Amino acid sequence: MKFIYHYIILIILLFFSLSCKLYKKEFDNPVDYIANNDLGVGAPALVFYPKTQTIPQGQSVKVESVIVFHTDSTESFTGMHLHIQFPNSLLALDTIKPGLFITDTSNSTPLFTYNFDGTNQIDIYTYFLSAIKLDIEGTGHIADIVFNSISSGTDSVSYNLNYCQMININDEDIPIISRRSAEIVIQ
């Protein structure tokens, strides 16, 4: 009888252990230079947040443009030019707003403007303007880009680093090493 009792307990334990599924949680922190580096995205980098989004057709989608530096190699900068490409068969541009980092948490107003070519390319120009500081340093949120979904499918919003530029107060280029795109899934 004691043997049968242990046998039943063993079967129950095996049933529960084999029926459980463990999920691996993936985190998406755009300013985590270690996680970005593991993905092959070296700093300084331009990244979009979130990395992946799934939305229903007809909904709007927001992606944040973020500059990421490694903590031991942060450089001061005053201006940026971002060249962004998106799939115009899936998305239509709605709104572009300056991010919190470039506005210095509302303590200054940046020069922030953009050009849209009418199809699938956006050029964002932003310059840090402050009466107290000449430049900013660190990792942060540069812009919010809002799109309207127009058809179902999967594609990415990405930076074209051949045209992106970051400059310091002396109008010298600061190299941008890599980029991370944002995948958009529209159902």
| Annotated domain spans of the chain | 25-186
Partner residues linked to 114 by β-bridges: 124
pLDDT-derived band at 81, boundaries 50, 70, 90 = very high
Residue of 54, 62, 110, 112 whose CA lies nearest to 86? 62
pLDDT-derived band at 10, boundaries 50, 70, 90 = confident
Residue 27: what pLDDT?
A: 56
In the CATH hierarchy, which fold is given to the domain comprising 25-186? Immunoglobulin-like (2.60.40)
104 or 151, greater pLDDT: 151
20 or 117, greater pLDDT: 117
Residue 32: what pLDDT?
A: 67
Residue 143, both tokens: 């812009």
93 or 75, greater pLDDT: 93
Residue 112: what pLDDT?
A: 86
Q: Is the pLDDT of residue 40 over 90?
A: no
The pTM score is 0.77
35 SS3 class: helix
Q: In what helix (H) or strand (E) does residue 33 lie, and over which residues does it extend?
A: helix 33-38
